[in-house]
Amino acid sequence: MEKASDDVSNIHNRFSLTLVNPSSHYFSLVVSLVVASVSVLAIYFGYLGNLGFEENWYRLPIVLAVLVLTQLLDTRFSKKKEYSKSLHSSLFGNMLLTVTLLMGILSSIVLSKDLQLFFITFGILLFASFRIGIYTTTLGASLKKAWTICLIQPLAMYFVLIPQDMWVSILSEPIGLGYGISFMVIASVWSVLTDRAGRPGMESTHKTIQAYLASQGNDFADAEELMEQRSSETKVSTSQIKFSTHDGQKEFRMVLPGIHPGPYHPVGGSNIPYLIYKNLSSSAMIMHSISDHALNLPSRNEVEKYLKNLEKSKVKEEGMKCTEPVTVQINKARVTGLLFENNPLLFLSLSPHGMEDLPSYIMTEIVQYAKNRNYTRTMIVDCHNAMGEEISKDDGEDMLKAAKSCLDSLITKDSFPIEFGYANTDEMDVWTEDLGMGGLGIICLKLNEKKYFLGWADSNNMENGVREKIIDIFAKKDYQLLEICTSDTHYAPVKARNRNGYYQLGLITSADKLAKWFFEIAKKAEQNTGKAKFEILENETNVKVMGQGIYEDYSKALDNSLKITKGFVIGGVIFFVTSLFL
């Protein structure tokens, strides 16, 4: 799965391109009006100076009114009728017009030459060429339709801005027409090539982009349909450790799903940790198993299928005893283990150094080693509690050594009756931008008259070092917090406008505040401890998962599109500069 991880990282790195758009359509509206005003002033004080702005001042509010009206009209031509995208595209198109006009003025000053009226025509058509590109890529219009409507906004502004007796003379400037039409053709060729950039794996790059952009507005139907078409049915296993008191009054489950949260909010299984948590009466910790994005569920249909089949889990092992925890640290790698009768549960972490999803070879080798030591069922948790890159070869070797050493130590440990208590933040006001819907949870395990705590957060990873700060605060109060794990949820309470596309736990909320919340529920869990038994449940479900190939194709399409775009941008800039010397 290493290749899948590389592809996902590459796609993730390209996410920053979606941040080019302003965060608010109100911003685009206001700035587009300001930019259009600059164009009007540039034309009247620069290109048409002999006419005088005093006699034509009334044209400025008319141009702005026409701009607003055509922005509204634009929404009728877009596939999803989205006003915000109309405003964003209008802003950038107007900026191109303004830059062209100002560069024409600047070139006349620097080169000591007469100001050329063809820059007005050139700017209008350059504005239109941008609209061809934006309509075909993000707004879902065909190339033919884009050509039909690309001139509506720039020409509407032109006709109310320029005196009627000058309409034809300016628009018929041969140099302006030549450059402008050339850029419209260039935009069309660019559109065709980028749309085909992902073939044969991806039929249309533009449709994928449009589906992604629509999903950011909670219209996820197209994105899920595209992903489900490419997904394949696979058998996935899910393990649970269920703790219950002897009187049956209290129950708690630690779940290791056989799937991975994702691909991104709000598509597919992005919020599946919370959905599992809710289905288990909010008395559970949904851990991150050793899995990656190849095991994402592509649609809500597959999520429902997975959740429904999870109810059919069967008890495979049970008992009432457990060892005290064993922690082995080798360089950066740390493994904490517990042995439930003959079933080890391991927690793997590189925190505070961090890493991406653990690769499958780690699990394969640990499980095989455990079988060789005659363990019955081995459960492995990727704590996912610090940000980092894919685990290095050396750190991976250290992690395996630490896991094997932990397994060897657990064999020698005595087992003790289990007492447990659990509490979460459901009744507390802990909403924050870096925490998912499941909030925080803590389980207290009382073994051999000693209390051990395990923390959980429904979050997408943790800020580096936050785990250590919280554990240190617990230690100063004589509470042993073994680990803090995250669910790696891809649910996002707010849209994060950063490169990651999410806020990891601790980036917004301070470690001190998190520690306060954790400690409050730790006290509740401690007070609620009672004698218990455990059961290990297993489930196998056939569901569609996204697989590795889809990420390879998406990554290839993005890379090819970016290369094509860079080439066209460089060529376009050079071509534009030549106009300044005419």
Q: What is the DSSP string of 50-72?
A: TT-STTTTTHHHHHHHHHHHHHH
What pairing do the DSSP bridges indicate for beta strands 530-545 and 314-319? antiparallel
Q: Which helix (H) or strand (E) holds 354?
A: none
The pLDDT score that the predictor gives to residue 2 is: 45
Mean pLDDT for each consecutive 10-residue tract of the chain (582 residues)?
57 61 84 96 88 84 96 86 87 96 95 93 97 92 93 96 93 95 97 94 90 85 93 96 90 97 93 97 97 94 96 96 98 98 98 94 97 97 96 97 98 97 96 96 98 98 97 98 97 83 94 98 96 97 93 89 95 96 90
Place of tokens 């707004």: 139
The pLDDT score that the predictor gives to residue 17 is: 61
| 361: its two tokens | 């070879």
Q: How far apart are CA 445 and CA 321, in angstroms?
A: 11
Q: SS3 of 5, please?
A: helix
Q: How far apart are CA 241 and CA 534, in angstroms?
A: 7
Cβ pair 347, 337 in contact under 8 A: yes
Q: What's the pTM value of the predicted model, to 2 decimals?
A: 0.90
Q: Which helix (H) or strand (E) holds 193?
A: helix 174-195
Q: SS3 of 42, please?
A: helix
Q: DSSP alpha helices (H): ranges in 196-296? A: 205-215, 221-230, 272-279
User: Considering just the CA atoms, what is the radius of gyration of the chain in Å?
Assistant: 30
Q: How far apart are CA 288 and CA 380, in angstroms?
A: 9
Give the burial class of 15: count Cβ atoms within 10 A of its Cβ; 0-12 exposed, 13-18 middle, 19 or more buried.
middle
Q: How far apart are CA 47 and CA 35, in angstroms?
A: 17
Residue 365: phi and psi, rounded to 5, are -70, -40
- What is the SS3 assignment for 257-322? CCCECECCCCCCECCHHHHHHHHCCCCEEECCCCCCHHHECCCHHHHHHHHHHHCCCEEEEEECEE
Nearest to 195 by CA among 557, 465, 540: 557
The pLDDT score that the predictor gives to residue 453 is: 98
Place of tokens 């039409």: 181
Diameter of the chain by CA atoms? 98
Q: SS3 of 322, please?
A: strand
| 572: its two tokens | 């376009």
Give the burial class of 213: count Cβ atoms within 10 A of its Cβ; 0-12 exposed, 13-18 middle, 19 or more buried.
buried
Nearest to 557 by CA among 189, 135, 201, 207: 201
Q: SS3 of 4, please?
A: helix
Q: How far apart are CA 357 and CA 381, in angstroms?
A: 11
The pLDDT score that the predictor gives to residue 1 is: 40
Domain coordinates in residue numbering, the chain = 2-215+552-579, 232-545
